[in-house]
Amino acid sequence: MNISANTDTPNLFKIYFLESITQIQMMMRTLGFSIPALLFPVMFYVFFGIIFTMSANMPTYLMVTYAVFGIMGPGLFSFGVGIAVERGQGWFDIKEASPMPVSAYIVSRIVLTMIFSLLIIMLLYFTGAVFADVQLLHSQWILIAVILIMGSLPFCAIGMTIGLHLKANSAPAVVNLIYLPMAFLSGLWIPIQMFPSYLQGVSQFLPPYHLAQICLKVIHMDAGEKLWIHISVLMAYLIIFTILATMAYNKKDKNA
DSSP string of 230-256, one letter each residue? HHHHHHHHHHHHHHHHHHHHHSS----
Please check whether residue 75 lies inside any domain of the structure: yes
Taking the C-alpha atoms of residue 185 and residue 180, their distance in angstroms, rounded to an integer, is 9
What does the DSSP assignment read for 29-40?
Answer: H-HHHHHHHHHH
pLDDT score, position 254: 45
CA angle 223-159-42, nearest 5°? Answer: 55
Please check whether residue 170 lies inside any domain of the structure: yes
Which range marks the domain in which residue 231 is found? 13-185+197-250
CB contact at 8 A, 38 and 123: yes
Please check whether residue 2 lies inside any domain of the structure: no
Alpha-carbon Rg for the chain in angstroms: 20
Please check whether residue 7 lies inside any domain of the structure: no
Please check whether residue 5 lies inside any domain of the structure: no
CB atoms within 10 A of CB 18: 14
pLDDT score, position 38: 85
Please check whether residue 103 lies inside any domain of the structure: yes
- Averaged over successive runs of 10 residues, the pLDDT of the chain (256 residues) comes to 50 80 77 78 92 87 96 90 81 73 85 92 97 96 97 96 89 92 93 86 95 97 95 97 91 52
Please check whether residue 174 lies inside any domain of the structure: yes
Element (H, E) at 118: helix 102-131
Please check whether residue 4 lies inside any domain of the structure: no
Q: How many domains does the chain have?
A: 1
CA dihedral in degrees (123, 109, 241, 118; nearest 10)? -20
pTM over 0.85: yes
pLDDT score, position 18: 82
Count the residues in the chain. 256
CB atoms within 10 A of CB 6: 5
